[in-house]
Structure formats: C-alpha cells, structure tokens
Structure 1
Amino acid sequence: MKIKVAMMWSGGKDSAFALHRVLQDKKYEVCCLLSTFSKETNRLLMHGVAEEIIDEQAKSIGLPLIKVFVENSQVEGYEKAMEIELHKLQKLGINTMVFGDLFLEDLRQYREKNLEKIGAKAYFPLWGMDTKSLINEFIAIGFKTICCCVNLNVLSEEFLGKIIDNNWVSSLPKEVDPCGENGEYHSCCIDGPIFKSALSVENKEVVIKAYPLNEIELKYSFVDIQLHN
C-alpha cells in the first residue's frame, strides 16, 4: 500500500522539484498540495505570491489545493492553523507532509517537532543534495521559474522578475547559495514536467519591505506576478 502524503506547497522551485521527485516514487501517493497564506493580503507567507497564481499552479498540476490562512503572519497563529488542517488530513489517512527543504537543520527540526506533536511525519526528498547540482538539474529537465523576491542585503533588483536559467544562476554572487536556501531569493514556478500546461503570467509592480532582525534590517524586494489576461 502506498504512503499517502500532502505536499507543502510554496509554488517555488524547491517544492516543485520535491513534488516531481515524490510523484516519480512508487512508494508515495500525493493526495494534495497545502499552502499557507496571509489573511490580510491573500498572498503566500514568505514568497508573497498571489493566491490566484497558486490556484492556477494546482489546476495545472492536477492536485487539490488546501489553503491555510494565517492572521498577521504570527508564528503561533501559523502553528495552530496548521495543526487544525493536519488533523483533518489525518482523518483522510494522510499522515506525512513532504517539504522541499535542502539543508537548514534548524528548519527541519522545527517541522519535525511540530508534526511529532500530532503523530505525523515529515519527508524531505531533496535533503542533502548539492544545491548547484540541484538547480542545474531543475533547469535541465524543463522547469521554468521566476525570481519573485530578492533579499536586497545580498542581491540587487536586477535578479528580480527574471526566469531562473543558467545565465541567471551563473551571475549570482559567490556568497549566495545557488538555490537561495539561506533566504537570498524566492521563486514562483510557471512550467515544468509536473505541469499539464504553462502558466501565462506578467510582472506588475515591485514592492520593497523591511523586516527588523536583531540589530539588522532586512530589506526584501517583491515583484507582483499576475496571470496574463
């Protein structure tokens, strides 16, 4: 019997590649995608991608999308909302969540700890992969993804809103992880082997937001990706 899983879906390259891997693994049955949104903006937490883009991704992939809305993007609210939704999934026989995380040990432990509280498990199909090899393979097998957010402390806006291809990756500063696993950038996937058809999108306005972290102010630039009418 296959293991029923839900895919934690950010709409970006890592979750897309992780989903691709799991769909190819005969041990697993992917039952749905699960995404977390801000109640205030109807946009993905962290990535800032509009809800309609995630809807269109799920439609093209052909999997149900479960939406979790979090008020004020607070950690406590996120954990409570996720716990409620995960209990619902468990009643459907889904007891494993798939994540696209690559090497951040503290993040992995955080996810595993929260799932253990309710007797659920986490699976990380990309864990430990060399990030340069991963991004090269991601591009080579036909995925197309747009850089939707950059950390301005380490990357300039010239990387924003562009397709992540070999030239884009080779232009990254040496100190930036090729997959942006340290939060250097985020992405929005619009085509690839998991999609039945490519998303037709266009870049709209750019917004800069600042987040205080200890004595440092982190500045992020987001491009508003919208469906092309």
Structure 2
Amino acid sequence: MKQKIAISWSGGKDACLALHYLLKSQEYVVDHLHTVIGEETNRVGMHGIKKELIEAQATAINIPLKINYLPSDKSNISYEKVMLDYALYCKSKGINIIAFGDIFLEELRNYREEKMAEVGMKCIFPLWKKPTKEVIKEFLNLGYQTKLCAADASKISKDIVGKTITQDFLQDFPKDVDPCGENGEFHTFVYNGPLFQNPIDVHLKSIQSQFYEYQIEKEGETKAIKSEFYFANFE
C-alpha cells in the first residue's frame, strides 16, 4: 500500500522534478502541495512568485494546494511556528512524510529533519546528491519549461531574468553558479511540462530589485553584508 505524503512546493524546477519522481513511484501517493506565502507580500519567499500563479500550477497539475501564511516579521521563530502548525495539519490527515526538492545542502536537510522529527514527521529528498548538471538536463529533456524568476545580482545578469531556461541559456552562467542554483544563485517558476494539463500563461511585466542586509561570522569577525536580488514580476 502506498504511503500518503505531501511535498514542499516553491513552484520551481527542483520541487517539480521531485514531484515528477514521486508521482511515478510505487511507494507514495501525493496528497497535496504545500507552499508558504508571505502574509504581507502575497508571494513565495525568495522566488517572489504571486500566490495566484502557484494556485494556477496546482490547478494545472491537478493536485490540491495547502497554503500557510508567514507573518510580516518573517522571523525564523514565525517560520518554525508556521511549519509546526502545518506538520500538525499533516498528522491530522494521516500524513507523516514531507518531500523536499533539496539536492546537496547538508545543513538545510539536517534542519528540516530535526524540526520535523520534533513532531514525529519524516522527510524525504528525491533529488538528494544527484549531480546538479544531470538534474537540470533531465528536467529539460523531460519537456518541462521554466522561467528564471529571481537571481542574485552579483552572479546573474539582469537581462536574463524572466526568460525561459534552456541548455544554451545555462552555458552563459558564470562558472561559480550552480546549474540548479542550489546555493541560492537563482530561482525558477515552472509553467509547462509532462505533469501539466495545460501550460500557464505567464508574462514578464517588470524586473524589480531588492536589497537584503545580514551578518556573517568569518575568521572570528562579524561582517555586515548587503546583497541585491532581481525579481521578475510575472502576470
């Protein structure tokens, strides 16, 4: 008997390929997609994708969508409270496993597993340790189409934000950019492919810039960092 699971859904290529694997699996049945939306922005975190477009994906894929809203303070405490509430919701539906599209970030995986274990939930990672060049190649070869929706301005040129990713497109990335953007260099929005009953009609309206300030510890010193991200405003 297949186990009922949920999948963390950002709307991007890695989550989509993970879902592709799960739906072809003989072990699991996907009950719903789960997305955290900013209460203030009505968008998905670092992807900057509007709630309406995530809803359009769920409709096109024909899988229910569960949305939780992150309070405007965007603090880690608030995020963990949101995820705890969501985990309890899953357990009430007989779901004890959540899938994620992470590929190689050990700290992130450990964090997810530790937090979910606190409430008796397990995590699975269908793409774990797959070479990222192979992941993006397989994703595109399967026929999925995805647009670059957010990018680190220090790594990615503004003029390619909002465009559809192709193999040729990837050749133009700097060598220090992971092919899947696994280090946070860029994010994507999938609008068509084998799981979609119909393509999502998505158009670039504008590109916006946003600055983030944070601190890092390096060699015993605290350094203030200010980084810029580009966001595609899709309609």
TM-score, normalization: structure 2?
A: 0.94
- Within 5 Å, give how 1:112-131 maps onto structure 2: 112-131=113-132
**How far did 1:91 drift?**
1.3
Amino acid at match of 1:216: I
Please state whether the residue corresponding to 2:44 is helix, strand or coil: coil
The one-letter code matched in structure 1 to 2:164 is I
Q: Could you say which residue in structure 1 is the equivalent of 2:31?
A: 31
Task: Tell me how many residue pairs correspond in the alignment.
Answer: 226
User: Which residue is equivalent to 2:44?
Assistant: 44
Asked whether the 8 Å contact 2:5–2:99 carries over to 1, the reply is yes
**2:206, 2:171 → 1: CA distance?**
26
- Whichever residue aligns with residue 65 of structure 2, its letter is L
Amino acid at match of 2:119: I
Percent of pairs with identical residues = 38
Residue 223 (structure 1) aligned with residue 215 (structure 2): no
Query: Do 2:212 and 2:228's aligned partners in 1 also have CA atoms closer than 8 Å?
Result: yes
Give the alignment of 1:1-229 within 5 angstroms: 1-72=1-72, 73-214=74-215, 215-226=224-235
Structure 1: distance between partners of 2:92 and 2:144: 34
Q: Stretches of 4+ moved more than 3 A in 1?
A: none
Q: Distance in 1 between matches of 2:159 and 2:46?
A: 20
Whether the 8 Å CA contact 2:161–2:207 is kept in 1: the answer is no
Residue 218 of structure 2 is matched in structure 1 by none
Instruction: State whether residues 3 and 27 of structure 2, in contact with CA within 8 Å, keep that contact through their aligned partners in structure 1.
Output: yes
SS in structure 2 of the partner of residue 201 of structure 1? coil
**Deviation of the 1:159 alpha carbon:** 2.1
**CA displacement at 1:66 relative to structure 2:** 0.3
Distance 1:136 1:67 in 2: 30
Secondary structure at the aligned position of 1:128 is classed as coil
Deviation of 1:81 (Å): 1.2
Residue aligned with 1:118, SS = coil
Contact 1:38 1:70 in 2 (8 A): yes
Question: How far 1:45 moved relative to its partner?
Answer: 1.3
Instruction: Measure the CA separation in 2 of the matches of 1:155 and 1:146.
Output: 14
**Deviations 1:200-225 (Å, cap 9, x if unpaired)?**
11011211111112222111000111
Aligned-residue CA RMSD in angstroms?
0.8
Which residue identity is paired with 1:189?
Answer: V
Helix, strand or coil: the match of 1:218?
A: strand
Aligned equivalents of 1:211 and 1:115: distance in 2?
28
> How far 1:70 moved relative to its partner?
0.5
Query: How far apart in 2 are the matches of 1:158 and 1:207?
Result: 12
Distance 1:189 1:51 in 2: 14
